[in-house]
Structure 1
């Protein structure tokens, strides 16, 4: 069981690092003369650093953890949506609108999510993406920066002291 859990964690980390994203259905439309409904899908991607900062600020302002969100009962989900629904939709909009002009689209996309997307999709998307956000991708970069400290003597120069 540990191996499957470890592989799932590795796969989630790889998805986040490669910025593949998470595809979610937003809205389902039924068109006449068509048997299957048309599904409007979007991909939630890791935002740029400014978007990650806004995402993190919004998430921290709600004062709830991802583990607590998973364990919510229906009553607690309703209370949470009533209190933090707009902020949750804004967080999802930050992950949909990625790029230098994202600030133009965050409010309309957040409004669309709030008014047209089902609650269980919003909660599932928030729970999944919050688990992918974090500082894990930056840990190897920090370790590399520590190793390449220009003030530290390199191995070849340690004997001479130059």
Structure 2
């Protein structure tokens, strides 16, 4: 095995074999490419906060939500609006959503539709623009004494469900 370094600006390389036999060779070119700095950014950001963790029966807990759409990059590199966004807000065991707080979100145009499904509230938000951030609150009422772990809430694009953001749950006690 022989290793020969070829001069930096060589434009042609010639290999010659003296005698009989076969010539086996390998050319390796090594270089460094400086890549542009990539700032990793989530397409969607979601924060869900419960304003109280220790409450009494019939108390109202406000659930503050912040949703930011950073954009989903298309094949051609463009970033477009979100289309329909779905936000699933977890409702702790032993609580029920206050429907008037949900109806107010629909009335003021924050959401286009809402559903109460088991232990979560599903909100439909239409057509967020890249960089757009919205904040809103819903309310839940404590029905009976319980120590509950609130499951995680999530937001995702209806048309690209693999693009998702999650917000961790917390603990809530009703005495």
TM-score range, shorter chain: under 0.3
Higher RCO structure (Cα 8 Å, ≥6 apart): 2
- Normalized per residue, the structure richer in strand is 2
TM, length-normalised to structure 1: 0.20
Pair member with larger Rg? 2
TM, length-normalised to structure 2: 0.19
